Amino acid sequence: MLTHINIRNFAIADAVEVEFGPGMSVLTGETGAGKSILIDALGLVLGDRADNSVIRHGSERAEISVDFDIRHHAAATDWLQDHELDADDACQLRRIINRAGRSRGFINNQPVPLQSLRELGERLVDIHGQHEHQSLLHAAVQRQLLDTFAGHAALVADSAGRYRAWAATRDALEQAQQAGEDRDAHIDLLRYQVQELDALGLEQEEIDHLGHDHDRLANAEQLLAACQQGVERLNTETGTSAFQLVSTTLGELEELSRLDQRLETTTGLLNEIMVLVQECADGLRGYTEGLEIDPGRLRQLEERMGVLHDQARKHHCRPEALPEIHERLQEELDSLENADRDLAELQSRLEHQAGDYQQTAQQLSAGRVKAARKFGKQVSADMQQLGMPGGVFEIRVNHDTDRSFSPHGMDRIEFMTSANPGQPPGPLAKVASGGELSRISLAIQVICLKGEHIPTLIFDEVDTGIGGGVAEIVGQKLRALGEDRQVFCVTHLPQVAALANRQLQVSKLTGDDTTRTRVRPLDEAERIDELARMLGGVRITRQTRNHAREMLAQGRQATRVAVGSNSFDPS
């Protein structure tokens, strides 16, 4: 929901700041006061193109910022999170247009391209009227509206899922077929590489020990000399050794411990040391006896390591990675050698998935045809009430079996209308005028009220060419739409304005050779005055004011208009 707009130096608006609430709001004012300034400014902050002609005379830049409450709007929240622009529940869009021609956009104070403003804006606001945000003219939106009316959410999701499965298999088949073009040459290379690695007889355990064995043999003489010297130092029959020194010290202290028992702890430790020294000496003797100096074995190891390093260089890896590469190359070779079988399996799966998809697409199309008839009748009935007597609305659903598969089925859906009796229906985008398009859109939005929707709707020129009872019906439908969404309407009809939850007056102030626009909310007394002006023009009588007061009182008692069923019952 739009909660706030701040406009600076845009067109004739020097400083406009307005707070908004839920329900239906109308913007009223004298012709030329600038009622469309708010909508134009909102369009810019939603990503419309702009040049420096929109900047107020005498200013260097125009700036528009808007705030939205998105606490209950999952589509906008998800988009912000996906683009890492979320900031709790805040959603602020800002646009700056400089005199030099540069334009900048911001979402939650982070700079973004205009495309991002457009993408997020399409989830927040839908502007109906003579404006580029007329989403009703887009084929995708027409399809979504029909599916929403028909209650096709599950069926559309099923169609999309089957399409994705079919597309994944199609891509896999294309890749397999493309790989087959140079498959033979690649198989020959893989066979050669696998045979080379097979000949090595590689085992991961051998690679893990090869380096250690080589280092031991290469340094065998140094190891032998150090161990023999260690044996002599620890325990030797000739000369002085650690064992002899500890033994002598132990003998002396054992004699003295008879005189002082406190030495018994030390003598106990010396006994343990003698045992450990003897075990160390025995261990080193055993090691030296088993240590081999084998130049022939050393040469074998060096040759083996050389071969492994040569293979590692070929495969751009370390020697310890060769077993893993061997396994991967073998798997790739097996896969390519079985490619013919895989191609046949993929082709069979693709045909089966295509049949499943087409069956779902046909089911979806049948549902659309049935829903289109009911939808067209309801919109046509509303057109009679909305100042288009004899108007007809149709939805054409063309199921094209030759059409490329898509997530949304195989239908071409087009909204058709004729606002005048006797004229054949034509495409909505080509036939309907701005005012007619707005009123048709209004009827569709009310009918689809309970479906997925954009939270803020703006209607411009919905009352063009109508008056009296038709204007009141337009107001009632807008009021009904405002029960579930936020609705804004620029109007010059008091019948519409009287039904709004709140009214904003747009006025143009002149003085000191300047002109500026002011927008302000009206209280009850001011609303009566404004409605009286809209009713009576320049001269406002007591009778006119009483009429305005009566219209406002009736508007407060307005309840939601019965619009029939809001969803399609296929039964």
The sign of the CA dihedral 458, 455, 94, 137 is negative
Each residue's pLDDT tens digit, 76-113: 999 999 999 988 878 999 999 998 878 899 999 999 99
State percent of the chain over pLDDT 90.
32
The sign of the CA dihedral 63, 64, 69, 70 is negative
The mean pLDDT of the chain is 83
| Distance of alpha carbon 272 from the chain centroid | 73
Q: How far apart are CA 67 and CA 42, in angstroms?
A: 11
Each residue's pLDDT tens digit, 400-416: 888 889 999 999 999 99
Each residue's pLDDT tens digit, 158-192: 999 999 999 999 998 888 777 666 777 778 888 88
- Kindly report which listed range (56-60, 296-300, 476-480) carries the lowest average pLDDT score: 296-300
Which parts of 181-219 fold into alpha helices (H)?
A: 183-200, 204-218
Task: Place 129 in a pLDDT band, splitting at 50, 70 and 90.
Answer: low
State percent of the chain over pLDDT 70.
88
The sign of the CA dihedral 273, 277, 283, 286 is negative
Task: Place 558 in a pLDDT band, splitting at 50, 70 and 90.
Answer: low
Average pLDDT estimate for 240-259 = 84
Task: Place 563 in a pLDDT band, splitting at 50, 70 and 90.
Answer: very low
Whole-number Cα distances in Å, 370 to 152, 405, 426: 12, 22, 20
What is the pLDDT, as a whole number, of residue 448?
Answer: 75
| Token duo for residue 169 | 């298999």
Each residue's pLDDT tens digit, 31-81: 777 787 888 899 899 988 888 888 888 888 999 999 999 988 888 999 999
Q: How far apart are CA 511 and CA 14, in angstroms?
A: 14
- Kindly report which listed range (223-227, 502-506, 537-541, 566-570) carries the lowest average pLDDT score: 566-570
Beta bridge partners of 397: 413
What is the pLDDT, as a whole number, of residue 387?
Answer: 79
Task: Place 2 in a pLDDT band, splitting at 50, 70 and 90.
Answer: very high
Whole-number Cα distances in Å, 534 to 94, 445, 502, 529, 567: 34, 27, 16, 9, 38
How big is the chain by its Cα radius of gyration, in Å? 43
Q: Helices 468-481 and 434-447 sit at what angle, rounded to 10 degrees?
A: 50
Is there a contact between 386 and 443 (Cβ–Cβ < 8 Å)? Answer: yes
- Neighbouring C-beta atoms of residue 502, cutoff 10 Å: 15
Model-level pTM greater than 0.75?
A: no
Whole-number Cα distances in Å, 532 to 41, 258, 329, 462, 529: 29, 127, 87, 21, 5
Consecutive H or E run containing 110: strand 110-112
Task: Place 220 in a pLDDT band, splitting at 50, 70 and 90.
Answer: low
In sequence order, what are the residues at sequence separation of 6 or more whose Cβ sits closer than 8 angstroms to the Cβ of residue 391? 380, 383, 384, 417, 418, 419, 420, 421
Question: What length is written for the chain?
Answer: 571
